Structures are given as structure tokens and as C-alpha cells.
């Protein structure tokens, strides 16, 4: 099960520990505008396409191979941590994105 935390030295990143290694995922306020547009567009997609977006998004920062080895439960949890970290950091409110086609 992944562990997460906001980095204390820079609240613009979510630090996720997976397999004893730390990975940094930038929060929305550190993403380029084109990535924010993709996030906004993903909100309009059917849930299965949202899932494809989430896999690609996390793969960019965690590595596609690592994401492929996560369980669906872990993938959902990591993305929910990222959404929660954005909300805590007063970033974009992204709670509408689903990380699971069954949610």
C-alpha cells in the first residue's frame, strides 16, 4: 500500500512512497497550462476514458512500468492522494475526477 505526504520543503509536490522509493508528483499549481486543460477535459470524459487519462498522467511521474504493476486499488489510492493533496494545498479542486470505472 502506498504511503503519501506533502513534502515539507515544497508544498507544490506530493511525495508518494512505493516499494521503499519516493516519487514526486507535481500538484496542479505546478503543472503547465496544457496539462491543466487536459485535466479539465478529462472531467468531461466517460469514466473508462478518465481511467486511461489517470494511468497516463501518473505514468508520466511514476514511470509507466511502475504504474502497470500497481493494482487497481493502489492506482485509485495514489490518484485520490493526489486529489487530496491538491485540495489541502489550496490548489484546484479536482474531486470530480474518478480513478475507477466503478466509482
- 61: nearest Cα among 46, 73, 78: 78
For the cut 60, the answer to whether the pLDDT of residue 96 exceeds it is no
Q: Which domain holds residue 40?
A: 3-88
Burial 15-39 (b: 16+ CB within 10 A, else e): bbebeeeebebbbbeebeeeeeeee
Rounded distance between C-alpha atoms, residue 99 and residue 103, angstroms? 7
For residue 19, what pLDDT is reported? 84
What's the total number of domains in the chain? 1
| Any domain includes 98 | no
Each residue's pLDDT tens digit, 6-31? 554 467 888 888 888 889 999 988 89
Each residue's pLDDT tens digit, 36-54? 888 888 888 898 888 999 9
DSSP 46: -
| Any domain includes 100 | no
| Any domain includes 70 | yes
pTM to 2 decimals?
Answer: 0.78
| Any domain includes 93 | no
Amino acid at each position: 500500500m502506498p504511503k503519501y505526504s506533502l513534502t515539507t520543503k515544497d508544498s507544490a509536490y506530493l511525495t508518494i512512497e512505493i516499494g521503499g522509493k519516493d516519487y514526486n508528483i507535481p500538484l496542479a499549481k505546478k503543472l503547465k497550462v496544457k496539462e491543466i486543460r487536459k485535466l479539465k477535459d478529462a472531467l468531461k470524459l466517460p469514466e473508462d476514458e478518465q481511467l486511461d487519462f489517470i494511468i497516463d498522467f501518473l505514468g508520466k511521474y511514476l514511470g509507466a512500468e511502475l504504474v502497470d504493476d500497481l493494482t487497481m486499488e493502489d492506482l485509485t489510492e495514489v490518484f485520490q492522494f493526489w486529489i487530496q493533496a491538491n485540495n489541502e494545498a489550496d490548489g484546484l479542486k479536482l474531486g470530480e475526477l474518478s480513478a475507477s470505472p466503478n466509482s
